[in-house]
Amino acid sequence: MKHGYVKAAAMSPKIRVADPKYNAGEIIRQAERAAAQGACVIVFPELCMTGYSCGDLFEQELLLREAKEQLFVIAEKTAGLNAVIFAGLPLDYMGSLYNTAAVVCKGNILGIVPKVFLPNYAEFYEARYFSRGMKKTVPVTLRAGVTVPMGTDQLFVCETMPALRIAAEICEDVWAPSPPSIGHALAGANLIVNLSASDEVTGKDRYRRSLITGQSARLLCGYVYANASDGESTQDVVYAGQSMIAENGVLLKEAPRFANEPAISEIDVEKLNAERRRMSTFEPAGLQDYTVTNFSLEMLDTGLTRFVDPAPFVPGNKKDRDSRCEEILSIQAMGLKKRLEHTGCGHAVVGISGGLDSTLALLVTVRAFDLLGLPRSQIHAVTMPGFGTTDRTYENAVQLIETLGAAFEEISIREAVGMHFADIGHDPTVQDVTYENSQARERTQILMDLANKCNGMVIGTGDLSELALGWATYNGDHMSMYGVNASVPKTLVRHLVRYFADTCGSKVLSEVLFDILDTPVSPELLPPKEGEISQKTEDLVGPYELHDFFLYYILRFGFVPEKIYRLAETAFAQNYDSGTILKWLKTFYRRFFSQQFKRSCLPDGPKVGSVAVSPRGDLRMPSDADVRIWMDEAEKLSVNAG
């Protein structure tokens, strides 16, 4: 439960229809199995104490009485488990029978949640036996001295982890046009459990999967769906145990059908709460008539089995990745197209270094010009060799420009920068920040003045990762008239260029793009060593794959350093040791806070994803905010990093 992770289990025991004692034994056994794996929220199927398929046997007093007695057996036998358990049983109240979920924790029965929507079609005749559940809770006496609330409008809140707020609905409830879970979520529930007995027919598994993941997305919640398995199969219906765990539209785990297997995974309630805070249209309705029941669990360190993607900006599946790349290229190009149309600019000026960012900027500019029907010759692609330019990057830049059909221009900056050094009294043998930034600013001056000369627009090349780290020369490569890469992280830039190489249909262009992809990332501001790049960005500021990972979880969810560090250890276990991860995490925080002043005056650029740093909407951060509390927590982690 540490860091907001709640391990949940959706169980599908193989029960016997109309045998509550046997079924209670199976429920206890599987609850112990789930708890042994760290599950602290354990959900069983609808009416699992008796079986959903009892039919007219639900009218037998002995069956109902035995189910109620076995509820107490379950409570007693699971008292030592660090878990809250949801199990289904038929329950009589005031002369009516209800299809209910009992909530049990550490020997206590916390409450009873009845089903609201009762199917009465095909092979399901629930309305023949059961009454519609009441919303507002009523006191139900289960035995002498044991009275609990029963009603749909209940929240079960963990005292030791108040961020965990659970509510329940039963099977058909979620299929209804207005499910109870909507009210539950607006009342504060961030984990919805569903006890279900949904039979198997062709194609129904796909619909269930879509329904559950969609509901978790709509409600910004975790959703645990426990479905009945083949122990229920009788007469004309078969059950397959398709249990699922979803989180905000993502299917974390699905049990294989026809296998009586559980679905177990971790739900991140801190992440869900962060999403709700960001979503202004998620308007909590308050508790109103809800009954809140507290329970207590021991705060254990939940082991993670869920996949932690080391590249959160990049889809892992090639088909999805290609689709994402095409979409992003279109967004970038359409944004630039609009700016060119609005300003009446028929020319664009792009500085081409032979690196990834300027390559992507040129590819986007070409696409925008094609959309406008403008000749590519009106794209002024400028190479500006300096003290650090290598033959490889220069030749790639030239070949890229010529292959794309842009207008090639070459302007060396060596002499101009040398004169500038003389003007300001800088010794060119001192290769410090002045030495480097003078080159970057000279290049920007050239591009701006060329744009004036041709009535064009300077297209910015800097990417999101560089902006996050402040890895840009203020009023140098930091500045442009429209930054097409401003919200594209470095890890995604690489895939966009690779996608273009794979789909361009030109062998020559593809070859040069792949060579650019193989070139180390560098600003090339220091002289080469034996003709090779001497200044590698990732040696200086750290691996971009780590920084993009940090950036995603800091801006997207506001996670604390300790949690991000833990996630990074999981995601990059095969690539980096803990000390390396922590070193660059500290670097990220230090640079991210100290360099906000550069982001506060960014040029316009198209937003392509949920994480961006535009000061006009996405990141309204004070330039002089203090990083102390984040660094203090990061420093404490160093004790555990060795």
The confidence score (pLDDT) of residue 569 equals 95
Quick: pLDDT tens for 580-636.
999 999 999 999 999 999 999 999 999 999 999 999 989 999 999 999 999 999 999
Catalytic residue among 106, 115, 271, 598: 115
DSSP state of 484: T
The confidence score (pLDDT) of residue 639 equals 53
Sheet of strand 165-170: strand arrangement: 250-254, 244-247, 222-227, 191-196, 165-170, 154-158, 291-295
Quick: pLDDT tens for 457-496.
999 999 999 999 999 999 999 999 999 999 999 999 999 9
The confidence score (pLDDT) of residue 603 equals 96
Task: Please give the share of the chain, as a percent, with pLDDT higher than 70.
Answer: 99
Active-site annotation holds for 325: no
Give dist(CA 601, CA 618) in Å, integer. 13
State how far the alpha carbon of 556 is from the alpha carbons of 21, 80, 456, 633, in Å.
48, 38, 36, 19
The confidence score (pLDDT) of residue 641 equals 43
The confidence score (pLDDT) of residue 235 equals 78
State how far the alpha carbon of 277 is from the alpha carbons of 6, 53, 281, 552, in Å.
19, 42, 10, 17
Quick: pLDDT tens for 498-546.
999 999 999 999 999 999 999 988 777 788 887 777 677 888 899 999 9
Active-site annotation holds for 46: yes
Closest C-alpha among 254, 206, 199 to residue 230: 199
Amino acid occupying residue 268: D
Catalytic residue among 40, 171, 221, 325: 171
The confidence score (pLDDT) of residue 530 equals 73
Average predicted confidence (pLDDT) for the chain: 95
Active-site annotation holds for 171: yes
- Residue 123 pLDDT grade (very low, low, confident, very high; cuts 50, 70, 90): low
Structure tokens at 638: 């160093």
Give dist(CA 25, CA 367) in Å, integer. 66
Residues 6+ apart with CB under 8 A from 369: 348, 375, 376, 378, 379
How many C-beta atoms surround the C-beta of residue 634 within 10 A? 22
Quick: pLDDT tens for 125-174.
898 999 999 999 999 999 999 999 999 999 999 999 999 999 999 999 99
Catalytic residue among 26, 46, 126, 254: 46
Task: Please give the share of the chain, as a percent, with pLDDT higher than 90.
Answer: 89
- Residue 300 pLDDT grade (very low, low, confident, very high; cuts 50, 70, 90): confident
Per DSSP, the residues of 259-314 read TT--EEEEEEHHHHHHHHHH-TT------TT-EEEEE------PPP-S---S-TTS
Answer yes or no: is pLDDT of 568 > 50: yes
Quick: pLDDT tens for 492-508.
999 999 999 999 999 99
What angle separates helix 356-372 from helix 507-517, to the nearest 10 degrees?
150
**Average confidence (pLDDT) over 66-94:** 98
